[in-house]
A and B are shown apart, each in its own frame.
Chain A
């Protein structure tokens, strides 16, 4: 899903993430990297083909693909 300006969007909700690494492993385009603290980071958003496997495979519902959703759950 693209945001209002038509750009790709992906973010990790760090306080929900449990660092299992599934998003890094299952992304077919290798968009994620594991950061120094073990949390995944969106490193190559330009390679994303918007298949949404990362959103589906995240057991902690911590990969967010829409800015509206991010806004909705930002205080949780």
Chain B
């Protein structure tokens, strides 16, 4: 049962194979997410998957949890509303790197700052795949894209350091080459009371691979496997050895003041103060 749990959650009328390209990592993340949800024991009706626009945001349409497909970059804004409206729900945001950090950049940092109990999974393939290969804020400096034919000259965002700095409760980075660890990080994120960010390194073979001549999907997966290194292992390495490496693992795990609880306290206090007032 546990291995094929995603097959038990597929929407009955949805057509398969799915729309994602051959070798795209989104399917791996989706099945890891469903396994993680199953392990946390959350009821199906108490889970809401919220997404914005992009390849990654098609993920909730394949599984039979409650879902909301919002506007570009605003998945976190919709999710904040859902969570405040019914704090009992487990709200999970599935978003791409462009969706979360460019169009929805402000929503992202302020959701981290508020520390609202939402889990965000960032499908990080460094490019806008659906619209034809524009560069995204996580594209590495020097890489090529449709809008960067001479190479990317901007500095890229580090999703994890950004989330830690802006106040998220739980921050981890996984890679699709290690789906077991990825599932564990997502599960920890869901169980954390507070804002959780899981950044997932994955390949985009037909678009990113095409512009950067990185070879086949398999070559890209091998390169991710070589590039990623766990935080523990990285501690014993010199800065030269760490050049070009991507750290994976749990960056921070801290529970503190959570937004919906604080908000409920304000509601209670407001109710009391209204009752105490003398009638007009």
Chain A residues near B16 (CB-CB < 8 A): 15-16, 61, 73, 76
CB distance B25 to A59 under 8 Å?
yes
Task: From B27-35, B125-133, B235-243, B257-265, give the one contacting chain A.
Answer: B27-35
Chain A residues near B8 (CB-CB < 8 A): 69, 72
How many whole Å from A8's CB to the nearest CB in chain B? 12
Determine which of B7, B15, B183 lies in contact with A61 in the assembled complex, contact meaning CB atoms within 8 Å.
Answer: B7
Chain B residues near A65 (CB-CB < 8 A): 3-4
Chain B residues near A61 (CB-CB < 8 A): 6-7, 10, 16, 18, 27, 31
Most A-side CB within 10 Å, residue of B3, B17, B22, B23: B3
CB distance A72 to B218 under 8 Å?
no
CB distance B7 to A56 under 8 Å?
no
Chain B minimum-CB-distance residue to A17:
B17
Is A25 positioned at the interface, with any CB of B under 8 Å from its CB? Answer: yes
Determine which of A22, A25, A52, A60 lies in contact with B17 in the assembled complex, contact meaning CB atoms within 8 Å.
Answer: A60
How many whole Å from A34's CB to the nearest CB in chain B? 11
Known interface pairs A18-B22, A20-B22; A55-B3 also in contact (CB < 8 Å): yes
How many whole Å from A63's CB to the nearest CB in chain B? 9
Interfacial residues of chain B within 140-176, with CB under 8 A of chain A in the complex: 176
Chain B residues near A16 (CB-CB < 8 A): 16-17
Interfacial residues of chain B within 1-15, with CB under 8 A of chain A in the complex: 1, 3-4, 6-8, 10, 15
How many whole Å from B207's CB to the nearest CB in chain A? 15
Interfacial residues of chain A within 25-76, with CB under 8 A of chain B in the complex: 25-26, 52-53, 55-62, 64-66, 69, 72-73, 76
Chain A minimum-CB-distance residue to B222:
A25
CB distance B26 to A73 under 8 Å?
no
Chain A minimum-CB-distance residue to B6:
A61
Known interface pairs A15-B17, A57-B179, A60-B18; A21-B24 also in contact (CB < 8 Å): no
Chain A residues near B24 (CB-CB < 8 A): 59
Chain B residues near A59 (CB-CB < 8 A): 20, 23-28, 176
